[in-house]
Amino acid sequence: MAGHSHWANIKHRKGAVDAKRGRLWSKLARNIIVAAKTGGGDPAMNLTLRYAIDKARDANMPMDTIDKAIKKGTGELEGNEYGPVTYEGYGPGGVAFIVDALTDNPHRTAPEIKKIFERGGGNMGATNCVSWNFTTKGMFSIGATETTEEALMEAALEAGADDVVHDGEIFQVTCTVQAFDTVRKGLEAKKIPIQSKEITKVPGSTIAVDEETGAKILKLIEMLEDNDDVQNVYTNFDMSEEVMAKLGA
């Protein structure tokens, strides 16, 4: 797979999510607020909210914090007005970047993201300069030792998935956004442990990078993710298992 899954694996090994749990919870709360504001506070009727709550639960966010975020979104509690904004650009080696953010002040966030791109050896581009190469999909990661490829393929495709790929230590299952919840339930029904699940942007073409360029790209991703407004960073870099192991050590 391309850069996104590699970066997710590296973060998992480093324990970066745990180290930055406070910031992660803040970002997930914003996601819940916007989902509830847009589609209502009932997760049974609002799939976007249900997905946002699932992500928060996966990060061990307390239920009272989740409930407060929902109430801020529905207007029951006072809170900042957040809105979605997307930035596109290029990183070292010409690698494509898409940055999804939720902000209460786009006039503040845009120059901040632009500056991060420049500090990281890249540059922010115009709308659709790279997004044409990405498709939004559901993605599930399953440990390669947790099941066989044949059993996973049968369960995933039966549940409506598009593809199953063996990628080193994990299997990657992809599906449409509409099939995401059905595939999740199908895998869980077959008692297949899901290492991670997300709705992500998958590149149609990738750029292979060496260790030097890969290190610069990972640094730029980290700098972007450290911004409080940034929710997700997507790229189209691809690196070998050997390079990934060195950079993720």
How far apart (Å, rounded) are the C-alpha atoms in residues 249 and 247?
Answer: 6
pLDDT digits (tens, 9 = 90+) for 73-121: 999 999 889 999 999 999 999 999 999 999 999 999 999 999 999 999 9
Instruction: Judge whether residue 15 has pLDDT over 60.
Output: no
pLDDT digits (tens, 9 = 90+) for 201-238: 999 999 999 999 999 999 999 999 999 999 999 999 99
Instruction: Please choose, from the candidates 113, 34, 32, the residue with its C-alpha nearest in 3D space to the C-alpha of residue 81.
Output: 34
Domain span at residue 62 reads 3-74
Q: Per the domain annotation, does 104 fall within a domain? A: no
Residue carrying the six token digits 């420049």: 118
> Looking at the 3D structure of the chain, how many domains does it have?
1
CB 81 within 8 A of CB 104: yes
How far apart (Å, rounded) are the C-alpha atoms in residues 173 and 79?
Answer: 37
Q: Per the domain annotation, does 35 fall within a domain? A: yes
Other Cβ atoms within 10 Å of 211 Cβ, number: 14
Is residue 249 very low, low, confident or very high in pLDDT (cuts 50, 70, 90)? very low
Q: Per the domain annotation, does 111 fall within a domain? A: no
Q: Per the domain annotation, does 30 fall within a domain? A: yes
How far apart (Å, rounded) are the C-alpha atoms in residues 144 and 167?
Answer: 8
CATH of the domain at 69: 1.10.10.200
Q: What is the pTM of this model?
A: 0.86
Q: Per the domain annotation, does 230 fall within a domain? A: no
